[in-house]
Structure 1
Amino acid sequence: MSLFGSAASNTTSTMATEQDLVNDITVASPPEDSVSDLAWSPQAELLAVTSWDKKVRIYEVNASGQSQGRAVYDHEAPALSCRWSPDGTKVLSGGADKAVRLFDVSTQQLSQIGAHDGAVKAVRFVECGPSNTPCAVSGSWDKTLKYWDMRQQQPITTIQLPERVYAMDASQKLLVAGLADRHIVVIDLNNPQQIFKQSQSPLKWQTRSIACYLQGNGYALGSIEGRCSIQYVDDAEQAKLGFSFRCHRQQQTVAGRSESHVYALNSIAIHPVYGTFSTAGSDGCFNYWDKDARHRLKGFPSLKSSISATAFNRNGTIFAYALSYDWSKGYEFNTPEYPTMIKLHPVKDDEIKQRAKKK
């Protein structure tokens, strides 16, 4: 029986056990350094992975969850972000070499389609303007966003930002960038050449992760202090539905005193079918949440090493998560013994689907 096509078993508890992770499959031939980003193809079970070892790897996952390498290409410095084109033929990536690269999976051709004056922290494919013109967009530590038409190395548009880009995501006509010093920039892709709204993060500490909702009406924001904020673009919707909550924290007793340990929220992923979402952090835990009901659907036990990146596949039946050092404790903690691996979790409906409201 197919692991990822198997029927869901009914679990009612919101807390998972290690038994719930026992069927998670380890991806073969993982990167040799920390994983910075994961992205699934929207057309097939192909997973793109960027790493601090300067490489972008593409894995093919079969029906039983087993994986094999399909392609690999290089940046000249750590690769930091990747995404698939909507037709699933190309992978877009950015890295600390300041380059925006495009890889054609079928021809194995690699081209550089753009460049920044600083590291490229995030890349996305978007559709701009009323005519839905396909573009690539990159956010950099040089304090700019640049749009590319992928056929020439000059950007279509460059937007000057108040600070460096630390996180970025897009959905429908919404693009949101989380910057240094807690700046948040919202762009309406119907009018992509200018900033639609600018604000300060409601969270008190540095922005670490952003994920836009399927409807394109808002975004979830994660910070290094183990907090998540549910945000909406419309002010009235925000006043009614917006909120923040604590996650990725652990209570520990030290010398008879209870201490709260706070961990970075490294990755947020939106489920492509139900619109529920996951958070994952430096504590080695991932959780599934329902923002509309304001509760946790499922919490999983710590895997004893940081989760640096996560992604749901195209139909939400596989949750990929990377166990690797996330640099939260500085350079000296990145030892050769620290694990670097990518795991595939078969997602059960009752873990991730919204619960029926009690009457």
Structure 2
Amino acid sequence: MSSQFELAQNPTDAISAVKFAPNSSTRLLVSSWDRNVYLYDTHAEPGGKLLQKYEHPQAVLDVCFGRDDNEAFSCGLDWIVRRIDLETGAMSTMSMHEKGVRNVIFSRPHSLLISASWDSTLHLHSLSDIENPDTYTTVPLPSKPFSLSVSPTKLVVAMASRALHIYELDSLAKVSTEGGVVDVEPWQRRESSMKYMTRAVACMPNDAGYASSSIEGRVAVEWFDPSDESQARKYAFKCHRQAVDGQDIVYPVHALAFHPVHGTFASGGGDGVVALWDGVAKRRIRQYQKFPASVASITFSEDGKFMAVAVSPGFENGMEELPDGVIKVFVRELGETEAMGKKK
């Protein structure tokens, strides 16, 4: 049985990210251009309960949980990577980049926090190095990063000029305590198999590969294994397109997320549609009814029971004023087989 509801108290400006807690399938963080990070208990009462708001000086572009359900990290247009104690609301600065910070992500197995900024650098923070909480290592990138994702052993960085770097998290964890600027050789350098700008990247939970999406209605699925045989399996497909008056309208694919249990993945587009895919069988499993605006971010709970979908105008048609009631977070309880791949 699946059911879906909308959170009662939504952000007031475009949503940049939604993330479930590592140990709770009802604890949800939402970051927004309205300069706040929101913490919800999605099932405390009908429509969920807003537990707390954490105000920032500028728009928040990403947020993630840390070592437990009470630790979070945020980043945004004020160039700062912050730690948030979700219990007390206390915030502290982890590091400062030289431009806006687009992404922040945490690898639990490596106790490693990674931020990616439009200054074309990564900052690595070792959270196991409690003696030196302010020490971080800067890793230069060849171009501006757009999206980050971690698998159990890898970090994938999608950048401008269709460049992708794949790093081994073990190597990054080693240099994270050194401080200063360290040139880290990626494990692999790749060029996106899509012709247009990469919008999002998401790693497979089984550590086998990743999916990436473009501004031009496509998703590519690739495997880490560099062997010719494995690379021959990679493919890209068209999605998030709609025929309007006989014209094929193509939308950007803003969001990708893998299901932690079944290994299938969800894509969300500027068309307001979320689709579920079986990347191995190369088939669409299902497509949900259209949401009221562009899909900005998707996340699954760690146990795979819930999917949260952030909806806000993507300004695909230019910068408009925000109409009322289009910024929403939907939480869907998935049926037992809803996200399962196709049977062989």
Give the TM-score of the pair, scaled to structure 2: 0.90
CA RMSD of aligned residues (A): 1.8
Correspondence for 2:199: 208
The question of whether the paired residues in 2 share the 8 Å contact of 1:283 and 1:304 is answered with no
1:235 counterpart = 2:230: no
The question of whether the paired residues in 1 share the 8 Å contact of 2:203 and 2:258 is answered with yes
Amino acid at match of 1:349: E
Kindly provide the CA deviation profile for residues 184-228 of structure 1, in whole angstroms up to 9, marking residues without a partner as x. Answer: 111111211522222221111111111001122211001100100
- Separation (CA, whole Å) in 1 of partners of 2:89 and 2:261: 31
Q: Secondary structure at the match of 1:309?
A: strand
Of 124, 136, 142, the residue aligned with 1:156 is 136
Give the TM-score of the pair, scaled to structure 1: 0.87
- Separation (CA, whole Å) in 2 of partners of 1:168 and 1:245: 21
How far has the Cα of 1:56 moved from its partner?
A: 0.4
Of 192, 215, 235, the residue aligned with 1:224 is 215
Correspondence for 1:244: 236
The number of equivalent residue pairs is 328
Amino acid at match of 1:74: E
- Separation (CA, whole Å) in 2 of partners of 1:334 and 1:345: 28
Amino acid at match of 1:216: D
- Separation (CA, whole Å) in 2 of partners of 1:343 and 1:41: 16
- Separation (CA, whole Å) in 1 of partners of 2:237 and 2:107: 30
For the structure 1 residues 99 and 292, does the alpha-carbon distance in structure 2 shift closer, same or farther, using more than 3 Å as the test? same
Of 147, 151, 154, the residue aligned with 1:167 is 147
For the structure 1 residues 338 and 264, does the alpha-carbon distance in structure 2 shift closer, same or farther, using more than 3 Å as the test? farther
- Separation (CA, whole Å) in 2 of partners of 1:182 and 1:133: 28
Moved more, 342-351 or 233-242: 233-242
How far has the Cα of 1:165 moved from its partner?
A: 1.1
Correspondence for 2:324: 337
Of 288, 291, 295, the residue aligned with 1:303 is 291
Correspondence for 1:181: 161
1:142 counterpart = 2:119: yes
How far has the Cα of 1:329 moved from its partner?
A: 3.0
- Separation (CA, whole Å) in 1 of partners of 2:300 and 2:187: 29
How far has the Cα of 1:154 moved from its partner?
A: 4.4
The question of whether the paired residues in 1 share the 8 Å contact of 2:95 and 2:136 is answered with no
- Separation (CA, whole Å) in 2 of partners of 1:301 and 1:69: 26
Of 271, 287, 305, the residue aligned with 1:317 is 305
Correspondence for 2:263: 275
Correspondence for 1:112: 93
The question of whether the paired residues in 1 share the 8 Å contact of 2:110 and 2:170 is answered with no
How far has the Cα of 1:299 moved from its partner?
A: 0.9
Amino acid at match of 2:137: T
Q: Secondary structure at the match of 2:161?
A: helix
For the structure 1 residues 102 and 56, does the alpha-carbon distance in structure 2 shift closer, same or farther, using more than 3 Å as the test? same
The question of whether the paired residues in 2 share the 8 Å contact of 1:94 and 1:123 is answered with yes
Of 6, 17, 27, the residue aligned with 1:46 is 27
Moved more, 56-65 or 279-288: 56-65
- 5+ residue gaps in structure 2? 176-183
Correspondence for 1:199: 190
Amino acid at match of 1:114: S
Q: Secondary structure at the match of 1:235?
A: coil
Q: Which runs of 4+ in 1 moved over 4 A?
A: 150-155
For the structure 1 residues 297 and 270, does the alpha-carbon distance in structure 2 shift closer, same or farther, using more than 3 Å as the test? same
Kindly provide the CA deviation profile for residues 223-259 of structure 1, in whole angstroms up to 9, marking residues without a partner as x. Answer: 1001000011212254242111111001122xxxx21
Correspondence for 2:337: 350
- Separation (CA, whole Å) in 2 of partners of 1:279 and 1:248: 9
The question of whether the paired residues in 1 share the 8 Å contact of 2:278 and 2:284 is answered with yes
For the structure 1 residues 60 and 39, does the alpha-carbon distance in structure 2 shift closer, same or farther, using more than 3 Å as the test? same
Q: Secondary structure at the match of 2:293?
A: coil
